[in-house]
Amino acid sequence: MHAYEVDASAAAYGEAAAAALAIEPERMLKTLLAVVDGRLVCGVVPVAGSLDLKALATAVGGKRGVMAEPAAAERSTGYVVGGISPLGQRTRLPTVVDETAELFDTVFVSAGRRGLSVELAPGALVRLTGAVVADVAR
C-alpha cells in the first residue's frame, strides 16, 4: 500500500498519483468503466494513455463501447471517481487489463480511494480480478 497527498488542483488523478509516488506513469494504471453492448465493463490502462473502446469491446466479445457515466461507475463499484479500484468492487465486472502491464514486475492501481494505491504483480492483478489481458490502451 502506498499513501500519497492528493493534489486537488490536478487535472488527471492518475498522473498526479504517479508523480506523487515518483513512479513511471506506465506503471500507474487507471480503472475506467465503459458500457459494452449494454453491460458495464472495467478497463485497466496506464494513466498516461487512454482506453480504446473498440478494442475493449472486442476483448469482451462485444461490438460497441462507450464510457460509462461517472454516477453509474460509482454506484456499481462502490468507489468515487479518481479512486475507483479494479479490486474489491461492489459488483464484479468483466475486466480487461492492458497488455503493457505485463512489461513490469509490479504495477500500481487505486486502492479504493484517492490518495492510496496498491502495488502488485500484473499476474496477481489479473488473477484477483479475473481479467483478460489485451491491447486496450492507446
What are the tens digits of pLDDT across the range 27-53?
Answer: 999 999 999 999 999 999 999 899 999
Q: Which residues contact 98 (CB under 8 A, 6 or more apart)?
A: 29, 43, 44, 45, 46, 49, 133, 134, 135, 136, 137
pLDDT of residue 10: 66
> Which residues lie across from 84 on neighbouring strands?
none
Rounded to the nearest integer, the mean pLDDT of the chain is 93
Domains and CATH numbers, the chain: 2-134 (3.90.960.10)
Neighbours of 111 (CB within 10 A): 19
pLDDT of residue 51: 96
For residues 34 and 41, the answer to whether their CB atoms sit within 8 Å is yes
- With cell 489481458, the residue in question is 133
